[in-house]
Structure formats: structure tokens, C-alpha cells
Structure 1
Amino acid sequence: MANARLQQDYAELAAAERYPMGIYLPSGGGDGANAIAFKAAAGRKKIWPGRPRRRSCRIANGRRGADSCFASVGASDGCASILFAKLQRVGGIGGRCMAYRCVLLSVFMLIAGFSHAESRKLTLCYDKYPPYAIGEFGEAASGGIKVKLLQDIGKQLDILVAVKILPWKRCLSAAKDGLVDGILPLYKTPEREQFMAFSLPVMRQYNSFLYKKSAFRGRVDWTDYQALKDHHLGMEIGSVVDKDMEAIFESAHPIERAADSITLMKMMDSGRIDLATIDSNVGKYLVNQQGVADAIGVSDVPIGKLSYAAFGFSKASGADRWVAEFNKVIEKMRKAGLLEKLETQTSK
């Protein structure tokens, strides 16, 4: 009777597919029948019969080992403890010492499993900056081109990834202090390299002018800052685009600052500014999204040098250890032409 119940327990556990590597069966009478029942339910799983005259539960990573009730089987979900309880109930395990060993090892492996999962998770941040990152401040990103890129790389590396939407200066501060693991692709600067390690470049980005069409007539040379300086310029708070360009504009008028690009567009509509610096892809996206293409344009001429954005990993959080792994995937995607498609997508 006890053997029949034990056989049923094996079948239940196998059907639940909780042991991907294999299981040691307890020795003693009926081992053959139990193995057959377990194998029928488990299908492809490997079954290791117990040694004769050794009444102990031995679960292992598909290999024979010292007597023990628990060893890593690919997931610390307490399933081994369930099996232990079932075997103990039908007399498959004897001895209080063995019971204590099983409980302690189960707890240890449960903690180890959680630690392993945490080590395979990365939380990055980025500003509320569509089409690169879409969402609300303080919440998880709901989408965006750079968010999707991170998710694709995470899948290939088998890691969990998340993106928090934070104001830009706060995002930089969080990466510096190790409160997040890094930042979605951004420009690499000497200052940022002090607290972040950077991956290989993943996309080309450049800033251009967002401008009020009624303030500019005829052909405009967007690289002649001396000719443009009489116009009022707006920029986002904390943004540094081109110091030489900024100095030229400031020599004529103070640069107006705003919290985000939408606010800059409102300032343009009210007449406070005539043009603003903006990421070219963000500018095109916002002009179309806000339905203001008749009144506001995007110069699409780079301000300063053309730059490439790369993932930044926080040194304080220890996430810089992921740079080499990310680089392998980035290089693979580049050779497959996936990064080139990404650049084409951002320019639409």
C-alpha cells in the first residue's frame, strides 16, 4: 500500500515537471515499479535508481552523489521539500538527522535561487523622451525604441530588464549613486565615464533645431550660429548640446530653459523663443504627434559633431560587469543589420 502511494507521488511530481535534471529513487522494494511509473510520467527526464539496501532519498543534478535529500535541480521552489514530506509520510526516509538535513538544504537552495535571480536582473533609467522611452515619471517605461532594444538584448542574455522613467538629472544621479544599474543609450562624455562604463555604440544620434516657421523666411543656414544668434533660443534644463554654439547665442540673449521638449514647443507658440535644440528623432516624433507640422519645423541639420549613443552601466551598482556580455550581443546584432534597421526606424 505504501509503495503504491509512493509510486503515485512520483507520478504527480513528474507530471508537474518540477525536476528538469533528474531524480534519485529511494532503494528498497518496488524500485523498479516506481522508476517505470516516474519515467512514464516524466517522459524525457533521467531516472537514477537507488543503491540496494540504502533507504535514503537522493535528488541530484543528473549525477550520483553522496546521500542527501536535496541538491540543485534547476529551480529552488521547495519541490524537494514536498518530495521529502511525501517520502517521509510513507516511510521512505528514516531518521531525524536526515529530516533536519533536508529542511536546511531546502532553505539554503531557496535563498540561493533568489540570489541568482536578482543577479540576472538589470534596472536602467531614462528620461520621458519619446520615441526612445515612453511612460510617466516615476513609473516603468511602457515602450520606446531604446526600451525595445534593451529588451531584445535581455532576451538573448537571459536576464530580466526594466526601465524607470526619471527626470534626466535624477536619472544621471541615480546611476552615479548605484540606485539604478545604468542608463539607456546616451552620449559618452569624460564626466559620465567617471561613474559609468559604456558599451559599444548602438545608434547614431544628433541634435538639431526645432524652429518656429513664421520666424524664418527663405533659405536658412542652420550651421551659421552668428547669423542665428539674434533669435531667442530655448533648451532643456541640464542639457549641453554644443558649448561653442551656446556661447554664441548667449552673447546676444540668455538661453531660455524648460523642463521638457513639449514645454519648449509651448514657449515657441507663445513667442518667448524662436527655436530650440532637440534630438532630431524626438523633434520629428513630437511635431507629428502634436499636430503642429504647419507651424513648427525640424532643421534636421546636426548641431556640432555627429555622435553615437551607447548603454551606460553604473560602476557603483556593479552593473559594469555586464559590458562585455552586452558587447557580444551588440556586435552580433550589428553584423545581422539589426542596428541599421533601428537607425532607420528612429529617423521616420
Structure 2
Amino acid sequence: MKVSTMTACLVLAVLLQSVLLHPALAGTGPACTSLVYSANPQYPPFHWAVGEKGFEGASIELLALALPKGVTARPVVYPWKRVLYLAEQGRIDLVVSLRKTPEREQYLLFTGHRSFPNPAVVFVRKDRTLPVRSWQDLKGHKGAISLGDSFGEEFDRYWRRELDIKEANTVVENLRRLDAGDVDYFITGKYPGTYYLDRIGNGRIVGLDTPVTGRSVYFAFSRKSPCALLVDEVSRRLEELEQDGTAQKLLEKYMKSHPAP
């Protein structure tokens, strides 16, 4: 009896320790029944701000499909750099459809599966030949990117060290600079760049076939948010939504049918 009692006590102690180390199993961790989300306010077709209180776009529809039942989402709209700062502070729970970088991964927990593909490409004027087969071909030319954009650790490090690139606030502003001849090329995501070009419609700017990087965009939870516990479940759902074609259909829908914000 004494041996059995000691064994039972030992098993109980091990189980108790496991529960304490995993608050979600014990029911003592903060539950996530609602979350605050945000995004780059000017990044169609993925998402864009509508007024000061909401968003539209492919990411927003995808989010509604990817969240577990019973979890509600409330949007907040801020400038892009402030969105990232507030997520770092834990005041925004989730940021939709952004690229992974080592810097961002310090304070954001990214889904394992992407929300959408979003290779970065070079946009140029048709009348100014600029063949780009590698990053080195951009040397000696004036370039532009949008403020706060990132194209992966390797290219970000390369352009800061080797290229003459200036930042401007928005995709539209950079496309206008390119059209005016103030810069020789503009790097941005293939889909946002094409989206705006389709609506500007001047026919003088094209995207080159060779991508700068073949990156995707992901959902990311603040590491300080109790809702970060949902990351694996949301990731599995994103994978399902890509495999059944839903994500691609949403991307095509917003590329074709919605006006520029």
C-alpha cells in the first residue's frame, strides 16, 4: 500500500507540473475570444483602409474564414509603422498579410503557412531599358521602395549596402516618381504594384518578369497577445484555404473587381 501510494503521489505531481507549465491546458491562461487586428492601410489587393475604422480586401475575407469559431475580430487603422509598433507592444493582437523578417519575428509569431504569395518585382518605364537578371543589375540606377517595406533579410541588407534606393510613403507616390523619371525603377509586391497600375492605366510602366524575391505574406500574432495561442490553428486553416483554392479566388476577386482605394 505504501509503494502504491507513493507511486500515485509521484504520478500526480508529474501531472500537476505539466499543467502548471502549460497554462492553456489548466484553463488558467487567458482565453482569446476576441482580438484586435490591423494591417498596412494601403496594400491592395490584400487589404486597404476604408475610412478610419475598417479594412477591405482579400486578407480581410481570408481572416474571417481562418479564425476559429467564436473568436471575433475588431479592426483598428493606423499608419503602417505605427501598426508594427503597437503589435510589438501587444496593443494589436494580429497583423494580417505581411512578410517575415528576423526583426519582425522578435515580436511577432508568424503562421507557419502563408496567407498569399507575393513575390517582389521591379517596375520600370517601357521606354527606359533596364534588364534585370540579378540584384547586381540594379547598381548605378536610382531606385525606390515604399516606406516600411521589407523584401527579406538578404535583399534588405544588400540594397542598404549596395544600391541607391530612396523610400516614399506609398505605392502610388513611387509609381508617379517612376513615371516622372525621378527614379529608374521601383520595387514592390507584384500584386499591389499591378493592382495600382491597372487603375492608373497610363501604359508606360511595366513589371519585369524576374522577381527580386519570391516571398509570401503571412498572418502574425503579437508575442505579447494571449491570442498567440491560436497561431497553429489559424495556420492549419490557411493551408486548407489555399489547398481548396479559396485564397487564390479571393486574390483574383480583389485584383479584378474593386476600385483603387
1:181 to 89, 93, 97: 93
Instruction: Tell me, yes or no, if the aligned pair for 2:120 and 2:189 is still in contact at 8 Å.
Output: yes
> Once the 2 structures are TM-superposed, how far is the Cα of residue 298 of structure 1 from its aligned partner?
1.3
Does the alignment pair 1:255 with 2:165? yes
Looking at structure 2, the residues matched to 265 and 334 of structure 1 have their Cα atoms a distance apart, in angstroms, of 30
> Once the 2 structures are TM-superposed, how far is the Cα of residue 133 of structure 1 from its aligned partner?
0.8
Q: 2:136 is matched with which residue?
A: 226
Does the alignment pair 1:296 with 2:205? yes
Q: 2:247 is matched with which residue?
A: 339
Looking at structure 2, the residues matched to 232 and 335 of structure 1 have their Cα atoms a distance apart, in angstroms, of 40
TM-score normalised according to structure 2 size = 0.75
1:132 to 32, 46, 49: 46
Instruction: Tell me, yes or no, if the aligned pair for 1:207 and 1:278 is still in contact at 8 Å.
Output: yes
Looking at structure 1, the residues matched to 75 and 207 of structure 2 have their Cα atoms a distance apart, in angstroms, of 28
Looking at structure 2, the residues matched to 312 and 342 of structure 1 have their Cα atoms a distance apart, in angstroms, of 19
1:224–1:139 distance in 2 versus 1, CA, 3 Å = same
Rg larger in 1 or in 2? 1
TM-score normalised according to structure 1 size = 0.57
Instruction: Tell me, yes or no, if the aligned pair for 2:57 and 2:254 is still in contact at 8 Å.
Output: no
Looking at structure 2, the residues matched to 184 and 319 of structure 1 have their Cα atoms a distance apart, in angstroms, of 14
Looking at structure 2, the residues matched to 340 and 130 of structure 1 have their Cα atoms a distance apart, in angstroms, of 14
Q: 1:151 is matched with which residue?
A: 64
> Once the 2 structures are TM-superposed, how far is the Cα of residue 301 of structure 1 from its aligned partner?
2.3
The count of aligned residue pairs is: 221
1:197 to 109, 113, 121: 109
1:335–1:130 distance in 2 versus 1, CA, 3 Å = closer
Residues 203-235 of structure 1: CA distance to partner in whole angstroms, max 9, x if unpaired? Answer: 22211012122222xxx5322333332321011
RMSD across aligned C-alpha pairs, in angstroms?
2.5
Does the alignment pair 1:313 with 2:221? yes
Instruction: Tell me, yes or no, if the aligned pair for 2:45 and 2:251 is still in contact at 8 Å.
Output: no
Looking at structure 2, the residues matched to 247 and 322 of structure 1 have their Cα atoms a distance apart, in angstroms, of 35
Looking at structure 2, the residues matched to 266 and 161 of structure 1 have their Cα atoms a distance apart, in angstroms, of 35
Looking at structure 1, the residues matched to 62 and 244 of structure 2 have their Cα atoms a distance apart, in angstroms, of 14
Q: Residues 158-173 of structure 1: matches in 2 within 5 Å? A: 158-173=70-85
Q: 2:146 is matched with which residue?
A: 236
SS of residue in 2 equivalent to 1:301: coil
Looking at structure 2, the residues matched to 317 and 245 of structure 1 have their Cα atoms a distance apart, in angstroms, of 33
Residues 65-104 of structure 1: CA distance to partner in whole angstroms, max 9, x if unpaired? Answer: xxxxxxxxxxxxxxxxxxxxxxxxxxxxxxxxxxxxxxxx
Q: 1:330 is matched with which residue?
A: 238
Looking at structure 2, the residues matched to 119 and 243 of structure 1 have their Cα atoms a distance apart, in angstroms, of 35
Looking at structure 2, the residues matched to 175 and 334 of structure 1 have their Cα atoms a distance apart, in angstroms, of 26
> Once the 2 structures are TM-superposed, how far is the Cα of residue 329 of structure 1 from its aligned partner?
2.1
Looking at structure 1, the residues matched to 162 and 105 of structure 2 have their Cα atoms a distance apart, in angstroms, of 29
Looking at structure 1, the residues matched to 53 and 159 of structure 2 have their Cα atoms a distance apart, in angstroms, of 33
Instruction: Tell me, yes or no, if the aligned pair for 2:142 and 2:165 is still in contact at 8 Å.
Output: yes
Structure 2 unaligned residues grouped into runs of 5+: 1-30, 257-261
Q: Of Structure 1 and Structure 2, which has the larger fraction of its residues in strand?
A: 2
Percent identity over paired residues = 24
Amino acid corresponding to residue 59 of structure 2 in structure 1: K
1:139–1:301 distance in 2 versus 1, CA, 3 Å = farther
1:178–1:206 distance in 2 versus 1, CA, 3 Å = same
Looking at structure 2, the residues matched to 296 and 215 of structure 1 have their Cα atoms a distance apart, in angstroms, of 10
> Once the 2 structures are TM-superposed, how far is the Cα of residue 342 of structure 1 from its aligned partner?
4.5
Structure 1 unaligned residues grouped into runs of 5+: 1-117
Looking at structure 2, the residues matched to 344 and 331 of structure 1 have their Cα atoms a distance apart, in angstroms, of 18
Q: 2:126 is matched with which residue?
A: 213
> Once the 2 structures are TM-superposed, how far is the Cα of residue 246 of structure 1 from its aligned partner?
1.2
1:171–1:183 distance in 2 versus 1, CA, 3 Å = same
Instruction: Tell me, yes or no, if the aligned pair for 1:205 and 1:308 is still in contact at 8 Å.
Output: yes
Bigger relative contact order (CA 8 A; separation at least 6): 2
